[in-house]
Amino acid sequence: MSGMLLYLRLTVMGLVALLLLAAGGWSSWDTARHIMFTDTPERGTITVAGCGETTCTGRYDPEGPAAPRSDLKIDESVTVNKGDRIDVVVKPDTDEVVRRGTGGVFYAWLPLGGALVLAAFLIGGMGLTKVAVGSALAGAVVIAGTFFTV
């Protein structure tokens, strides 16, 4: 009976860790796909005009023949000051832009980095110490990369 409970515990811990990683990957992919794999790239720069609690707005100047636009939104946490010029990619069919470049890639994968760190505790509890350390280190690299590049 105790052997069956052990397998049940390991199965549940593995499923929860897998769920954490899937949720982190899904959340990250929504932003990362626009930065890393742009089919119709609308790239340019945004000049931050003002910030609210969660988003900043500004004037977007495209790199191509498209016309400049006003009042596009960018997440407040990837901007520094009013007047900053940030390289961005416009999310298709929205008025949102995402930061591009190394900082944008790290920021996009930040939810997966957090999920890797959280899952490391569950993986370690399953007795897979080396996998848990690898997961924690990978998550820590993404989190530190975001901190230093954004």
pTM of the predicted structure, to 2 decimals: 0.84
The 10s digit of each residue's pLDDT in 11-70 is 999 999 999 999 999 999 988 888 888 666 788 898 888 888 888 888 898 887 778 888
The 10s digit of each residue's pLDDT in 109-132 is 999 999 999 999 999 999 999 999
Domain limits for position 55:
43-99
Same domain, 32 and 56: no
Same domain, 75 and 47: yes
Same domain, 55 and 14: no
Same domain, 112 and 77: no
Q: How many domains does the chain have?
A: 2
Quickly state the pLDDT bin for 1 (edges 50, 70, 90). Answer: confident
CB 135 within 8 A of CB 116: yes
Domain-ending residue, one of 82, 99, 116? 99
Angstrom distance (rounded) from CA 112 to CA 128? 20
Q: What is the mean pLDDT of residues 68-76?
A: 83
Same domain, 94 and 63: yes
Same domain, 20 and 48: no
**Residue 81 pLDDT > 90:** no
Same domain, 47 and 95: yes
Same domain, 53 and 93: yes
- pLDDT of amino acid 40: 62
**Residue 73 pLDDT > 90:** no
Same domain, 48 and 32: no
**Residue 133 pLDDT > 80:** yes
**Distance (Å) of CA 57 to CA 18, 78, 96, 110, 124:** 37, 12, 9, 22, 43
Q: What is the mean pLDDT of residues 72-84?
A: 79
